[in-house]
Structure 1
Amino acid sequence: MQATVAEVSLKYSSQMSYDEMPTITSPEEAAKFLRGIFDPDTIELREEFYIVLLSNTKQVLGYSKVSIGTMTGTLVQPLTVFQTAILGNANSILVSHNHPSGNLKASNSDISLSKRLRDAGKLLGIELVDHIILTKESYTSMKELGLF
């Protein structure tokens, strides 16, 4: 008797042409894009973690909320981040989370996660271009600070 198992299939279908997709080539552009996807009514309430999928020309292919946490933290698995990146056909990724406290300083766990994502991405050929910490009023680029 043959066992029945789930079929796994991959599909990627964009609703926009490449010419219409926004491009992110700087932390400023990243923060502007991220402000459009983070909910301004909850940015001071709880931490959330997003991944932005980028093409080889840094055009935005899509984004996904990876994790919703508490006032002081959120759990992120590299597996989930790269599963999303692979399914979305990303060449590189930008990740971001918010600090409800308004503090822009990266925590030790923020730095550790960024390094893990950078290293996992290297193995998969998917570059981590930046990790943006967003607050209600500002942002910081962990890449510009040399934290990973």
Structure 2
Amino acid sequence: MNLYSIKTALADALCVKETSPIIQELFSRFVTPFELLDANEKELTQIKGIGPARARQIVSALKLARALNTPRDNKVIIRSPKDVFNLMRFEIGHLMHEEFWILQLSTKNHVIANNRISVGSLNAAVVHPREVFRAAISRGSASIIACHNHPSGDCTPSPEDIALSARLKECGDIIGIEVLDSLVISTDNYYSLKESGQM
């Protein structure tokens, strides 16, 4: 997703031209696509000409833009950690808080669904294997891939990340749902525990 496509979507949603003062102010206030996609109504109403109703319109348009940019049907196939990164970077890479998600896969590695399991603070996401596998079982997943973001932008896994990944893999082996990988994702980079031999 780029600034041009977001600008077009916002202009259409607000029924204004892309060169209008409101659009120009939005893109001077929020410089990158990630900043703009993460904007909330309170931040938007600080811009001249944007009241609560228009802020809600903008947030809705941004949610739609993000959804359209993230494939969610079972035609998406995961062949490598880079595929996971490309699928999830706009979902969690830019966030200023930590979120833990799983990708649920079929026997042929088609994405069945992606689910947010936990929302944490700036330094921790509380994740319980029970919640992870409840979601996986509910959709008949053959395997899962865990992923979460580091708001700092540093994708190096913490000891807690490594321990959680090992615990999930152990639980998955017991119940017959393989944990294929666990990734840490930022806006422009990722770290795969499987790829690095830590799973």
Change (3 A) 1:39 1:28: closer
Q: Which has the higher contact order (CA 8 A, sep 6+)?
A: 1
Does 1:118 find its partner at 2:118? no
Does 1:37 find its partner at 2:91? yes
Does 1:91 find its partner at 2:91? no
Instruction: Give 2:78's match in structure 1, choosing from 24, 35, 43.
Output: 24
SS at match of 1:112: helix
Alignment partner, residue 11 of structure 2? none
Change (3 A) 1:122 1:65: same
Residues 10-41 of structure 1, C-alpha deviation per residue, up to 9 Å, x if partnerless? xxxxx95x5xx20001011111111243273x
- Higher strand residue share: 1
Does 1:147 find its partner at 2:187? no
Partner letter of residue 141 of structure 1?
Answer: S
Partner letter of residue 26 of structure 1?
Answer: S
SS at match of 2:141: coil
Change (3 A) 1:25 1:100: same
- Higher helix residue share: 2
Partner letter of residue 56 of structure 1?
Answer: T
Counterpart Cα distance in 2 of 1:70 and 1:142: 22
For the Cα contact (< 8 Å) 2:102–2:132, is it kept in 1?
yes
Uncovered stretches (5+) of structure 1, i.e. residues with no partner: 1-14
Instruction: Give 2:157's match in structure 1, choosing from 78, 86, 106.
Output: 106
Following TM superposition, the consecutive aligned residue runs of length 4 or more in structure 1 with deviations greater than 6 angstroms are none
CA-atom RMSD in angstroms: 1.5
Q: TM-score, with normalisation over the residues of structure 2?
A: 0.61
Partner letter of residue 91 of structure 1?
Answer: A
For the Cα contact (< 8 Å) 2:92–2:185, is it kept in 1?
no
Partner letter of residue 59 of structure 1?
Answer: H
Q: TM-score, with normalisation over the residues of structure 1?
A: 0.82
Paired residues in the alignment total 128
